[in-house]
A and B are shown apart, each in its own frame.
Chain A
Amino acid sequence: EDKVVQSPLSLVVHEGDTVTLNCSYEVTNFRSLLWYKQEKKAPTFLFMLTSSGIEKKSGRLSSILDKKELFSILNITATQTGDSAIYLCAGSSGTYKYIFGTGTRLKVLA
């Protein structure tokens, strides 16, 4: 059965800390790994990774995929209170199938 597991489930840090969020996957016919940030409403897209070993960056956020070990990490450096959110990862298998993890709830304290 396809599954995506995220860890930790929740995390509390102070502003300025660096955090690493983990996502492991077992997805049949894997195509891509997606990261989303969810605050109070719609999950918003962060990254899509399809190739192993290539880091994607956007400001203080970066992510990398390891297709051999079947995992991805999302790094956030110099965290800010605005980074507080649920971070979701999903494995894509074909056009219609997206398997989501349960998310990591990040709280950044001022």
Chain B
Amino acid sequence: AQTVTQSQPEMSVQEAETVTLSCTYDTSESNYYLFWYKQPPSRQMILVIRQEAYKQQNATENRFSVNFQKAAKSFSLKISDSQLGDTAMYFCAFMKHVGNFNKFYFGSGTKLNVKP
């Protein structure tokens, strides 16, 4: 079974600083995908960044980047120059192919509070 663990229930960071959210996962698959989703308060979940497991290069999207350590099964999210709008729940997700379809597994989330 696949599991996704986010060990930090809540974190705080000062505006303009950098913060790293942790995620580990457990799988026997060799090919899979990893995602970070952001869920602002009372708003819908949106994709922040994605990583294919077969790619060694870490994904980057503007101020968001990941540190993907496949051997360690670790997938952390770094947010640089934090902004007030980054305040949200962040969910790490794992996806694998099951036949012709995809199956997703989500972590329990990290609540990030960006302070002015």
Verify that A and B bind, or say they do not.
no
